[in-house]
Amino acid sequence: MNRRLRHISALTALFAIGLVGPWLMPAYISQFAQLWLFIVLALSWDIMGGQTGYNSFGNIIYFGIGMYASAVAQVGVVWPVADYTAAKGGGTEFVFTAEQIYTGLALGIPLGGLLAMAAAIVFGALLLGMRGHYFAIATLGLAVAIAELAAGWDYIGAGSGMVTPTLPQEIEGPVLFYYLSLALAVLAILFYAWLYSTRFRLAINAIRDDEDKAEALGHHTTRNKMTAWAISALFTGMAGAIYGNLSGFIDPHDIAFNAEIGVWMILMAILGGKGTLWGPIIGAIVFFVSKELFWTYLLGWQRVALGLLIVIIVVFFPEGIMGWVRSRWPHLFAAPHLDGDEGNAAAAATDERKEAANA
Amino acid sequence: MREWQAQDRPLLEVKNVTKRFGGVVANRNISLFVERGTIVGLIGPNGSGKTTLFNSIVGAHPIDEGEIWFDGREISRYRTAQIARMGLMRTFQQTHIFGKMTCIENMLISMPERRRQLRDLFSPGSRADRARAVDLLQFVGLYSKRHHLAGSLSFGQQKLLEFAMALMSEPKMLLLDEPTAGINPTLINGLVDRLRRTNAELGITLLVIEHNMRVIMNLAEYIYCLAHGELLAAGPPEEIRNDQRVIDAYLGAS
């Protein structure tokens, strides 16, 4: 089986499991929704951290911005936002019809993504001049600052947070948000798969490997870095928008700008293998399932177990699961489509034969 | 100093360039020019300011005084990437390649950026590009390594790869910083031959820093010699070879 076929069948299998999953395990539907969102987060961290070589500790900013922006839009299409947040979510008068919910989500999720993207362009202009550890530290600082700003802004509920619109009886929340998460994950995976098949992947990998050389070759390195971060923010923001609804309550520190989730996105990508398409997907699945198991069966020790898992990953799989697979079975990663000769010679011959047939 | 006619100005012209690092004057009032289609050498003892001059020309750091003209434009205020897009490319003394990418990927991402639009970035790249990448890898003798990660190549092979990458970007002019350093001595003749063919067949103008006197005397048609950051001598190889000041500078007498 060649590489492309393997790739497509793996994707099809993944999406098929996604579609029927809720019927097989209806009790875990919210967990699975979260898993799909985590896949999006890991993939979106990896385009910067893995593919471009810029370790962002601040992607959680886009998660939070997307979450708040969507919630504000969803409320705002029906009620004045300031009154809604002032009532601390307790006001029973803020009722939403099914139609208003759908309209709100249809507006809120893209808006969350776009606003996060806009933020990434602004922050990118400020921070992407820094390299290596300086960039990492700056993004970390920025994340802390943005969380504090959100926790102090009354319009979005300040420190007491914000409740997402309460669903009317006829909408089954978990099912709706499960399929929204699945749809976003499918969109993200297909988009990244396409993006990494273009020259853009080579351009950002070049920045990762040797930014000075990329510049010496005349690359628009700043533009490429900004594009990568903006794409990363777009998907992270949309994931945040759905995550807020899934959680039902947005707390600035514990949900929206949750430092723990900010670290998890990095861990998932590293666990699975940075700089690959499948690494972050596999990493997210392995990480999320072990996390859920630890939280269920090792309650009280769950963080110790998770910490141990992280240590084991870093010590035994420094290149992640995909990196380990690659070093054991390198032939699985041969890339005939990049060859300029054999494959193309055959293809050229076919073309010639076609032309001859036509003539 | 040679003279030239106004209508055929040289491709590269360095006029009275001075570069200081704090109190150290790395380049003092240096003037040189390289005519289109020629191979010019730049020699001088270690620390004489050759690499600094290269860095100044390609915009790696600003110069303190002087002008640098390339292809009819004053480029001393331009940034590296802009200058590269004009077709003035350099290779490094210590290799700079993309280590975690395969050789062929290294080649594909070295396509000339100046003729590219944003949408080209979001396409898989054409078959012709790949064929050209393979051809050039063959030209430098790295065909069999094309699917290897560039970081796994030896230093000499990385230099050859970097040279091929520079050719892939279809420059008008190449600045080569010690192309034969670290290359297996048995392969040096082949490399010199390739440099000459690059110049003759692809029409690329070359300015070459080189410590190997046999190589540079064979290759270059005109040579500039730097010492202590100043231009010491300039002339055809046979003149430079017999210039007492050059001999003294290399032997340490002064």
Structure confidence by residue, pLDDT tens digits, B50-72: 999 999 999 999 999 999 999 98
Higher-confidence residue: A338 or A125?
A125
Residue B77 lies in a domain: yes
If you write DSSP's letter for every residue of A47-102 in order, what string do you get? IIIIII----S-THHHHHHHHHHHHHHHHHTTS-HHHHHHTTT--TT----HHHHH
Percentage with pLDDT > 90 across chain A: 53
Mean pLDDT over the full length of chain B: 88
> How far does Cα A158 stand from its chain's mean position?
26
- CA A8/CA A294 separation, integer angstroms: 32
B158 and B221 inside one domain: no
Q: For chain B, how many structural domains are there in total?
A: 2
> Is residue A171 scored above 80 in pLDDT?
yes
Beta bridge partners, B42, equal B209, B224
Alpha carbon A112 to chain centroid, angstroms: 13
Spatial contact of B176 and B88, defined as CB atoms under 8 Å apart: no
Length of chain A: 359
User: Looking at the structure, do residues B7 and B133 belong to the same domain, yes or no?
Assistant: no
Give pLDDT, residue A89. Answer: 60
Residue A216 is nearest to which of B58, B108, B131, comparing CB atoms?
Answer: B58
Residues A238 and A64: beta-carbon distance below 8 Å: no
Residue B247, domain member (yes or no): yes
Q: Are residues B17 and B73 in the same domain?
A: yes
Residue B199 within a domain: no
The position carrying tokens 């001049």 is A129
What number is the average pLDDT over the span B79-97? Answer: 90
Candidate from B97, B122, B165 with C-beta closest to A198: B122
What average pLDDT score do residues A19-33 get?
Answer: 85
Are B17 and B68 in contact by the 8 Å Cβ rule? The answer is yes
The alpha-carbon gap from B158 to the nearest alpha carbon of chain A, in Å, equals: 13
Lowest mean pLDDT across A261-265, A344-348, B28-32: A344-348
The whole-number pLDDT of residue A225 equals: 95
Q: What's the one-letter identity of residue B42?
A: L
CA distance B60 to chain A (A): 9
Reported as a single tens digit per residue, the pLDDT across B189-228 is 888 999 999 999 989 999 999 988 889 999 999 999 999 9
pLDDT at B160 over 70: yes
Chain B interface includes A131 (CB < 8 A): no
Contact B51, B232 (CB under 8 A): no
Residue B171, min C-alpha distance to chain A (Å): 10
Q: DSSP letters of A247-309? A: HSEE-IIIIIT-HHHHHHHHHHHHHH-TTSSHHHHHHHHHHHHHHHHHHHHSTTTHHHHHHHH
| pLDDT > 70: percent of chain A | 91
Query: Are B80 and B118 in a shared domain?
Result: no
Cβ separation A216–B132 shorter than 8 A: no
* pLDDT at site B4: 52
Residues in A touching B79 (Cβ below 8 Å): 215
For residue B16, the model assigns a pLDDT of 93
Per-residue tokens: B233: 């001598």
Report the alpha-carbon distance of residue B238 to residue A245 in Å, rounded: 80
Judging by beta carbons within 10 Å of its beta carbon (0-12, 13-18, 19+), is residue A201 exposed, middle or buried?
buried
- pLDDT attached to residue A5: 84
Phi-psi domain of A232 (left: phi exceeds 0; alpha: psi -120 through 50; beta: other): alpha
Mean pLDDT over the full length of chain A:
87
The predicted structure's pLDDT at residue B68: 94
Question: What is the pLDDT, as a whole number, of residue A299?
Answer: 84
Comparing B102 with A352, the larger pLDDT belongs to B102
Q: Do B33 and B65 lie in a common domain?
A: yes
Q: Are residues B177 and B78 in the same domain?
A: yes
Q: Is residue B197 part of a domain?
A: no
Task: Give Cβ neighbours of residue B216 (< 8 Å, ≥ 6 apart).
Answer: B41, B43, B208, B210, B223, B237
Smallest Cβ distance to A217: which of B113, B133, B135?
B113
In a domain, B194, yes or no: no
> Would an 8 Å CB–CB cutoff place B174 in contact with chain A?
no
CATH 1.10.3470 fits A28-299, yes or no: yes
| A and B: number of Cβ contacts within 8 A | 115
Quick check: is B192 in a domain?
Answer: no
For residue A195, the distance in angstroms to the closest alpha carbon of chain B comes to: 7
The C-alpha atoms of residue B92 and residue B98 are separated, in whole angstroms, by 13
Flag whether pLDDT at B138 surpasses 60.
yes
Burial call A135-165: b when 16+ CB within 10 Å, e when fewer? bbebbbebbeebbeebbeeeebbeeebbbbb
What pLDDT sits at residue A180?
Answer: 95
Token pair listed for B115 = 């003729």
- What would the mean pLDDT of A149-177 be, rounded to a whole number? 87
- First-last CA distance in chain B: 23
CB A82 within 8 A of CB A90: no
- Residue B66 and residue B3 share a domain: yes
Query: Is B28 in the same domain as B128?
Result: no
pLDDT in tens, A247-262: 989 999 999 999 899 9
Using an 8 Å CB-CB cutoff, list chain B residues near A336: none
CATH at residue B69 = 3.40.50.300
Closest listed residue to residue B208, CA positions, set B191, B223, B228, B189: B223
Would you call B130 an interface residue with chain A, using a CB distance cutoff of 8 Å? Answer: yes
**What are A131-154's pLDDT values in tens digits?**
888 999 999 999 999 999 999 998
Query: Are B120 and B242 within one domain?
Result: no
Question: What are the tens digits of pLDDT across the range A294-353?
Answer: 988 988 888 899 888 888 888 888 888 888 888 888 777 765 444 444 444 444 444 444
| Chain A residues touching residue B125 (CB < 8 angstroms) | 198-199
Of the ranges A343-357, B23-37, B79-93, which one carries the lowest mean pLDDT score?
Answer: A343-357
**pLDDT > 70 in chain B, percent:** 94
Host domain of residue B144? 96-170
Judge if B82 and B103 occupy the same domain.
Answer: no
A40-72 confidence digits (pLDDT tens): 999 999 999 999 999 999 999 999 999 999 999
* Full strand arrangement of the beta sheet holding B205-209: B88-90, B173-177, B205-209, B39-43, B222-227, B230-235
Domain match, B63 and B178 both? yes
